[in-house]
């Protein structure tokens, strides 16, 4: 979800307003995903590298996250959406941790769509965390495998990523789901996240449907 600050800057608004408008994109996107029968949407909300941002901006992001879940939890629950968190719990402010945990718990039986919030998430950190978790159960001279590693990722229960969309015009991955996108289709869109609408989403799915996926085969 990239481009919030540029969106705000273009409109001479504070950064926090860009993030606030960015958060408003999530509910229509969630509806469009369910309409299309998509089962999992992962949102990169806060990376392990975002800690390098000014403290005031970070604080406004946590406040927004709290607000988002409090304001939307009823509609999320009633629509059958399950909230999942991928990321390191440690370092999250206690209130943010609790808000996320509550949303995860309240929606745990929902099956229509998984909304996977990647918060304090980094792909490299996730892989290291997975290896360390596996090491705790390791027996004798046992070696790790792709399967064993996958079962220890935050996303263990999720399918591999089919399509990764990055808004904001930058053509890079920025440590997002680096293991899970091994064979994903990548789409870089020149639209700032607060402007991302269901129309853009439908267009990106159409684009995805034109791709020929071979997974290294013929």
Q: Give the burial class of 68: count Cβ atoms within 10 A of its Cβ; 0-12 exposed, 13-18 middle, 19 or more buried.
A: buried
126 makes contact with Mg ion (CB under 5 A): no
Shortest CB 131 distance to Mg ion, Å: 29
Could you say which of ligand IPE, Mg ion, none residue 46 binds, taking C-beta under 5 to 8 angstroms by partner kind?
A: ligand IPE
185 makes contact with Mg ion (CB under 5 A): no
- Residue 118 forms beta bridges with which residues? 44, 86
- 1/76 with CB nearer Mg ion: 1
2 makes contact with Mg ion (CB under 5 A): yes
22 makes contact with Mg ion (CB under 5 A): no
**φ, ψ for residue 43 (rounded to 5)?**
-120, 125
Shortest CB 4 distance to Mg ion, Å: 7
Which residue is listed with tokens 């909230």?
83
Q: Does the annotation count 50 as an active-site position?
A: yes
- 1/189 with CB nearer ligand IPE: 1
Choosing from 4, 10, 35, 50, which is the catalytic residue?
50
| Angular region, 158: left φ>0, alpha ψ -120 to 50, beta rest | beta
Q: Does the annotation count 89 as an active-site position?
A: no
Could you say which of ligand IPE, Mg ion, none residue 166 binds, taking C-beta under 5 to 8 angstroms by partner kind?
A: none
Residue positions annotated with a catalytic role: 2, 50
> Applying CB under 5 A, which residues contact Mg ion?
2
């Amino acid at each position: 979800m990239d481009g919030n600050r540029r969106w705000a800057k273009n409109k001479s608004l504070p950064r926090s307003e860009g993030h606030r408008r960015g958060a408003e994109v999530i509910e229509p996107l969630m509806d469009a995903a369910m309409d299309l029968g998509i089962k999992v949407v992962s949102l990169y909300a806060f990376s392990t590298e975002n800690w390098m941002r000014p403290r005031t901006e970070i604080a406004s992001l946590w406040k927004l996250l709290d607000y988002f879940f409090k304001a939307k939890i009823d509609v999320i629950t009633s629509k059958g959406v399950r909230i999942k968190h991928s990321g390191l719990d440690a370092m999250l402010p206690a209130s943010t941790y609790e808000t996320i945990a509550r949303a995860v718990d309240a929606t745990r039986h929902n099956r229509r769509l998984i909304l996977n919030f990647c918060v304090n998430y980094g792909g490299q950190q996730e892989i290291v965390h997975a290896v360390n978790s596996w090491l705790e159960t390791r027996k004798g001279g046992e070696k790790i495998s792709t399967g064993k590693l996958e079962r220890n990722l935050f996303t263990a229960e999720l399918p591999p990523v089919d399509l990764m969309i990055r808004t904001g015009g930058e053509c890079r991955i920025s440590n997002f789901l680096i293991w899970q996108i091994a064979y994903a289709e990548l789409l870089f869109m020149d639209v700032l996240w607060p402007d991302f609408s269901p129309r853009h989403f439908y267009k990106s799915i159409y684009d995805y449907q034109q791709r020929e996926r071979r997974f290294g085969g013929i």
